[in-house]
Amino acid sequence: MKASGPWWTSLTGFFVLNLILVWLKTYLNYFANFSLGASGPVQLFLLALNPIPTAIILLGIALYFRGRLAYFLVWLFNLIQTLWLFSNMLYYREFSDFLSFGILGSGSSTGNNLGKSIVAIIRPTDFLVYVDLIVLAVCLLFKFWPIDKKGLAKRYAFLTTCLGVALMFVDFGIASVDRSGLLTRSFDNNYIVKYLGLNEYAAFNAFQTKKQSDSRKEATAKDLKTVQNFINENNIPANTSYYGSQKGKNVFVIHLESFQQFLIDYKVDGQEVTPNLNAFYHDQNTLSFDNFYNQVGQGKTSDAEMMQENSLYGLSTGSAMTKYGSSNTFEAMPGILGQQGYTSAAFHGDVSTFWNRNNTYKSFGYNYFFSKNYYPNSDKANYSVGYGLKDKIFLKDTAQYIEQLPQPFYAKLITVTNHYPYTLDKENTDFPATQTGDSTVDGYVQTAHYLDEAFGELMAYLKKTGLYDNSTFVLYGDHYGISENHQPAIAKLLGKDSVNNYDLANFQKVPFMIHGTGLQGGINHTYGGEIDMMPTLLHLLGVSTDGLTIFGHDLLSQQNPQTVVFRNGDWVTPTFTKYRTEYYDTKTGQKLSMASNPALKATAKRVQAYADKSLSYSDKVITGDLLRFDKNRLNAYTVDKSSYDYQKASALKSLKQNQKSNPTSLLARNNYQTTTGDYQTSAPELK
């Protein structure tokens, strides 16, 4: 029925105006805040088209109503889409990925710290996406906008919905031609948004999340057999020269937060950023890998831990530790080494619930988990920064627990100071910032330098007490510190005018070092990633990985395939590098065309098939909890989660009892005289 007044005052006009506004701010932000890599007329057309279908469908819901309610619903669905856009703008700016329901669902497990990081990167211009909503709300509330009380005939509302659905199919049809297997083979969320849109990505992610939750019900022992056949086909032998060379030694796993490979030997104003780590990296007893990559997904640190402890990839969406850490069966390092007589302990200067560690570590088989409430300084003002206790304070306070651990032990120390937003108080800042002009980046070397000083203090203590010579040290960077969204700053850090996708792929390198007396040290150029840490370390300790459901390979094996698979489906080999839709010569960085390079085409087909299967099968192991079907392994490495109690009083009581029954700890061997006085720190807070 025809409305009175100009057409734009009708409900149809209000609907069209909001549709244009939603499309415009989404489309503009595709270019301003996201790196979708759209190229060519087809992809650029889809980028312009894909915000429209779901906007029509969502805004069109209001057309089934009349009067003021209909106008309010149009405004409300504009607001919902804007909130989703705004949230992704902030998240993508730091993490180069889009929000998922898995990440949203894990919010409680990361405490308030993720929120602090997001708040730190908000720009005043971000709020421009809300300007239209404010103006429209004022117009409706103060009746500046006339209300068409007659509304729209239901058949026209239905036709509008049909139009949105039809455009969605058009979008998907064109996208499927340009990118075959978009929803079945792609692990990269950028592809989904580029081709289908931000709202469609949300719907697809919801489907993925639901599919993950259903996987356990549908999983069978046959699924595990399929996975194990794949693993057996790609199994490689250990290097006999190294196998068992570190058998029986204590193991320190030192988690270098947000630490990237380029920091090694990097200088600012002629000063080394990390002199202690540099010396450790070049030590004759340290195996250092310079082609080692982080392979994390949305779970970031928790993904790195999943790979380090289990040689399983993080999930395509969300955090595996948060979603499955409490319930799943794992074949993790602490549980496996527990069968070898090791005591295991994890140390973290923040709340135990961060990334669901308090539950996941029980599933992994950790005997002890020393978290924030074990550290008397954790609640003192200015003793913490961002994600927990400052590293110097954390490591010094950790010494009192290390000396009590029965040997041999497996100890993981999680540092946190070198975490975004890379800020320190003046008392702890004794190193010059870089001058890239990017405030997010310039403090990075300062917190890295602080971490390096804390590491040096820990090593000095371990040498004084004698633990150093009887221990194997594993150091690794968990993920990038500076995301690819800071390309101008990255270029300045690397001494380049600009960076391309090849540079960004190499920027994902993180340090991996293994130090132990008698190791044939040196710089190892083998290509690998975090998925390879577990089998490499187990073989050094003389523990076989035969029969384990793991996706990594021993980096010291002479038959290592040197294929690095990233969570988004990209990969690196010593010959070729794939970064989204582009291919490069790994050695030279030259961009390659598959059409004119038969060798690349053959390699790409083979490696991509391997990458897709690795990621897919690893996902099935986690989401289907497939290891519960592995009776052979369960008999050998059963983890009784109920036997672990991380409450402070009971854990410390247990630790004392273990020292008496197994008097092999540093404290026991020192006639129960504490060694913490040997720990010297420059932390101004403790002076």
Integer Cα distance of 45 and 192 in angstroms:
15
pLDDT of residue 112: 47
Helix axes 391-402, 444-465, angle to 10 degrees: 20
Structure tokens at 91: 């998240």
pLDDT means per 10 residues in the chain (687 residues)?
A: 58 94 94 82 92 95 93 96 93 76 61 57 90 94 84 91 94 84 65 87 80 82 96 96 96 97 97 98 97 94 96 91 89 95 96 87 96 89 87 97 97 95 92 92 96 98 97 96 91 94 93 93 96 98 95 97 96 95 95 93 96 96 94 70 90 91 94 96 93
Instruction: Show Cβ contacts of residue 394 under 8 Å, excluding neighbours closer than 6 positions.
Output: 347, 349, 375, 388, 415, 416, 454
Task: Please give the share of the chain, as a percent, with pLDDT higher than 70.
Answer: 94
The per-residue b/e assignment along 143-155, b for 16 or more CB within 10 angstroms, e otherwise, is eebbbbeebbeee
User: Does the annotation mark 301 as catalytic?
Assistant: yes
pLDDT digits (tens, 9 = 90+) for 200-250: 888 887 887 777 677 888 999 999 999 999 999 999 999 999 999 999 999
Instruction: Show Cβ contacts of residue 55 under 8 Å, excluding neighbours closer than 6 positions.
Output: 19, 22, 23, 26, 81, 164, 199
Quick check: bond before 663 cis, omega within 30? no
pLDDT of residue 287: 97
Phi, psi for residue 162 in degrees, rounded to 5: -60, -35
Amino acid at 355: W
Integer Cα distance of 12 and 71 in angstroms:
10
- 595, 556, 588: which is closest to 574 by C-alpha? 588
For residue 434, give the DSSP letter: P
What kind and span of H or E run contains 583? strand 582-585
Integer Cα distance of 74 and 617 in angstroms:
43
Integer Cα distance of 48 and 57 in angstroms:
17
Amino acid at 184: T
Query: In which residue are the tokens 């005939």 written?
Result: 153
pLDDT of residue 2: 44
- Are 62 and 203 spatial neighbours (Cβ–Cβ below 8 Å)? no
Kindly state the greatest CA–CA separation across the chain.
Answer: 94
Pairing status of strand 271-272 against strand 267-268:
antiparallel
Residues in the chain, overall count? 687
Integer Cα distance of 428 and 416 in angstroms:
15
Integer Cα distance of 669 and 407 in angstroms:
10
Phi, psi for residue 529 in degrees, rounded to 5: -155, -175
Residue 585 CA, chain-centre distance (Å), reads: 27
Residues paired with 462 in a beta bridge: none
pLDDT of residue 600: 95
pTM for the full model?
0.82
Structure tokens at 9: 């005052």
Catalytic residue among 54, 110, 286, 301: 301
Backbone torsion region of residue 582, taken as left when φ is above 0, otherwise alpha when ψ lies between -120 and 50, otherwise beta: beta
Amino acid at 407: Q
